[in-house]
């Protein structure tokens, strides 16, 4: 494996965001994944989302587990601290990091093996604990890094490259996330940047546990006929419930949407999310309905994408823990150590 250092030269005509950063400032090292791997498109979408949101890259902490997907945090946000932890355990590390400093933006990147098998427990528990984060699962239905074994999200009946059929029931992480308390759940497809970017942007502004399941074909082991996570299959079965765009408060542009109703959803920081509903009946604020809708579509072999659920009144773990407003990692002995007087009293009460 080699790392190619990118030239740091900046073209004067490159567009800059509110902070004066160019797209480049949000990139990482050059990807070492297979050419055409869906994961790289997701990295590109993350870069685009952060650029458009004008996030200061160093205010993001990016964490991952182990897998091809979990390698991707080196390929974006080179000025962010990153943590490639151990297989399936990103959620706990992210939880602890978040406990230590509530002021950063936490981006967790995982794979379907990482999240739905070895790390299923951690996936569920960090969401139910309400950790303020954007948790992205780059879902290809296989273990890419260990060369193509089925993962727990592989659909029943889907065929491996070697011809074996998966007979086990698949786990739907988006449904599970809703069930266990995610306040923002989306699903997308790595081939659909238009949909991915605003979804990631909205999630980054949402103050609660966000989960985005992104189907991301593995060109090496899961992009053949018979696979339900292949580019062709997903394109044919994708059922977008809405199209969304983030409206900055300063933004004058109105985006043209496909016909259907539109709805503006206020976000916590003053911006708004414009939802163009492709299915007029779909209401992303109704969790029960969203869960039922997902199941109904799945039964018809359709993959619902878009903003599936959002709780506008989300809170997070720190609210539950009632922590002080400043990050815990910034407290000093003055704040933390009760000192000798308290200790004398403790001693006295133990005599």
Positions touching ligand TPP (CB under 6 A) are 66-69, 87, 111-114, 138, 140, 142-146, 151
Residue 322 binding another protein, by CB under 8 A: yes
Single residue of 21, 28, 33, 210 touching ligand SF4 by CB under 6 A: 33
For ligand SF4, the closer CB: 82 or 284: 82
- Residue 68, interface with ligand SF4 (CB under 6 A)? yes
Burial call 214-223: b when 16+ CB within 10 Å, e when fewer:
bbbbbbbbbb
d(CA 267, CA 79): 26
The residue within the footprint of ligand SF4, chosen from 174, 218, 247, 304 (CB under 6 A), is 218
Residue 182 backbone phi and psi in degrees, to 5 = -65, 135
Report the residue number, 65 or 113, with the smaller CB distance to Mg ion.
113
Q: Residue 221: name the closest of 41, 39, 31 by CA.
A: 39
Indicate which of another protein, ligand TPP, ligand SF4, none lies near residue 220 (CB less than 5 to 8 Å, by partner kind). ligand SF4
Query: Least distance from C-beta 229 to ligand TPP, angstroms?
Result: 10
Name 219's Cβ contacts closer than 8 Å, sequence gap at least 6.
34, 35, 36, 37, 38
Asked if 154 contacts 230 with a C-beta cutoff of 8 angstroms, the reply is no
Question: Minimum distance from CB of 330 to another protein (Å)?
Answer: 8
Smallest separation (angstroms) from ligand TPP to the CB of 81: 22
72 binds another protein (CB under 8 A): no
Strand stretches in 122-241, DSSP E? 133-139, 142-143, 149-150, 184-189, 209-215, 238-240
Buried b (16+ CB within 10 A) or exposed e, 270-309: ebbbbbbbbbeebbbeebeebbebbeebbeeeebbbbbbb
Residue with CB nearest ligand SF4? 144
Give strand pairing partners of 245: 274
Q: How far is the CB of 149 from ligand SF4 (least distance, A)?
A: 12
For residue 156, state whether it binds another protein (rule: CB under 8 A): no
Please report, as ranges, the residues that interact with another protein according to CB under 8 A.
1, 3, 56-59, 61, 63, 73-74, 78-86, 89, 91-101, 103-104, 121-122, 124-125, 129, 318, 321-325, 328-329, 331-333, 335-340, 342-343, 346-347, 350-351
Please report, as ranges, the residues that interact with ligand SF4 according to CB under 6 A.
33-34, 37, 39, 68, 140, 144-145, 218-221
């Amino acid at each position: 494996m080699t790392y190619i250092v990118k030239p740091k030269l900046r073209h004067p005509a490159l567009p800059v965001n509110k902070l004066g950063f160019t797209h480049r400032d949000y990139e990482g090292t050059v990807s070492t994944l297979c050419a055409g791997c869906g994961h790289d498109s997701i990295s590109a979408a993350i870069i685009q989302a952060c650029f458009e949101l004008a996030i200061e890259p160093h205010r993001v902490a990016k964490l991952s587990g182990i897998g091809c997907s979990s390698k991707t945090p080196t390929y974006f946000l080179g000025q962010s601290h990153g943590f490639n932890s151990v297989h399936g355990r990103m959620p706990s590390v992210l939880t602890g990091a978040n406990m230590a400093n509530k002021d950063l933006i936490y981006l967790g990147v995982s794979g379907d093996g990482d999240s739905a098998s070895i790390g299923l427990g951690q996936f569920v528990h960090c969401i139910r604990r309400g950790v303020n984060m954007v948790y992205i699962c780059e879902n290809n239905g296989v273990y890419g890094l260990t060369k193509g074994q089925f993962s727990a999200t592989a659909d029943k009946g889907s065929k491996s490259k070697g011809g074996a059929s998966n007979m086990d029931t698949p786990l739907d992480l988006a449904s599970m996330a809703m069930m266990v308390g995610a306040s923002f759940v989306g699903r997308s497809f790595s081939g659909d940047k238009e949909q991915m970017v605003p979804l990631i942007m909205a999630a980054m502004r949402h103050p609660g546990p966000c989960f985005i399941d992104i189907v991301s074909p593995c060109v090496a082991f899961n992009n053949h006929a018979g696979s339900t996570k292949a580019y062709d299959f997903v394109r044919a079965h994708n059922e977008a419930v809405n199209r969304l765009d983030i409206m900055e408060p300063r933004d004058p542009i109105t985006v043209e949407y496909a016909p259907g109703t539109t709805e503006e959803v206020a976000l916590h920081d003053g911006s708004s999310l414009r939802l163009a509903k492709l299915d007029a009946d779909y209401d992303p604020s109704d969790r029960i309905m969203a869960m039922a809708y997902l199941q109904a579509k799945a039964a018809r072999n359709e993959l619902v994408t878009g903003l599936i659920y959002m709780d506008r009144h989300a809170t997070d773990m720190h609210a539950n823990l009632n922590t002080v407003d400043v990050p815990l990692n910034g407290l000093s002995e003055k704040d933390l150590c009760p000192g000798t007087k308290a200790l004398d009293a403790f001693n006295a009460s133990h005599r």
